[in-house]
């Protein structure tokens, strides 16, 4: 049986693997996929935080970043909450064909790079909270 620390480490390790994929997808000009994986990175860190702040070791089966963090002691600023709402869009809209066309119009290299810079910032901040 895994310890709480092992469960947390699992989610953090998975997030780092996905962060490598974000960069690879960006370099390959797969902007929507890169943003989809950026969401996964943050989701996995949020799930590690959820485990840290809850008795159980199995986080809720949801992709909503703000919801996951609302069940922790992590205090987000309004700006951070708003950014996580933006990032949530790429998890949902990246999955369904009816949204893909809209995303292709929005997600050029400049836009994607800006979102990824913000993702990196919140990624590092959230990781500090797992310590």
The domain that holds 87 is classified in CATH as: 1.20.120.330
- Say whether pLDDT at 31 is over 90: yes
Check pLDDT > 70 for residue 48: yes
**Total Cβ atoms within 10 A of residue 21:** 17
Q: pLDDT value at position 131?
A: 87
Does residue 100 surpass a pLDDT of 80?
A: no
Distance (Å, whole) CA 87 – CA 82: 9
Q: How far apart are CA 126 and CA 112, in angstroms?
A: 21
Mention every residue, 6+ apart, whose C-beta is less than 8 A from residue 99. 92, 93
Give how many domains the chain has, as a whole number.
1
pLDDT band at 105 (very low <50, low <70, confident <90, very high): confident
Is a pLDDT exceeding 80 seen at residue 82? yes
- Structural domain harbouring 63: 4-129
Distance from C-alpha of 43 to C-alpha of 91, rounded to nearest angstrom: 10
Among 19-28, 66-75, 89-98, 108-117, which stretch is predicted with the lowest mean pLDDT?
Answer: 89-98
């Amino acid at each position: 049986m895994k310890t709480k620390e092992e469960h947390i480490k699992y989610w953090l390790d998975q997030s780092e693997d996905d962060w490598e994929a974000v960069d690879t997808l960006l370099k390959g000009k797969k902007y929507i996929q890169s943003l989809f994986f950026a969401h996964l990175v943050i989701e996995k860190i949020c799930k590690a935080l959820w485990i840290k702040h809850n008795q159980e070791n199995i986080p809720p089966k949801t992709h909503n970043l703000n919801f996951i963090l609302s069940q922790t002691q992590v205090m987000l600023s309004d700006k951070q909450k708003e950014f996580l709402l933006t990032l949530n869009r790429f998890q949902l809209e990246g999955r369904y064909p009816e949204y893909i066309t809209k995303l292709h119009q929005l997600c050029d290299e400049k836009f994607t790079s800006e979102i990824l810079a913000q993702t990196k910032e919140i990624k590092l901040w959230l990781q500090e909270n797992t310590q």
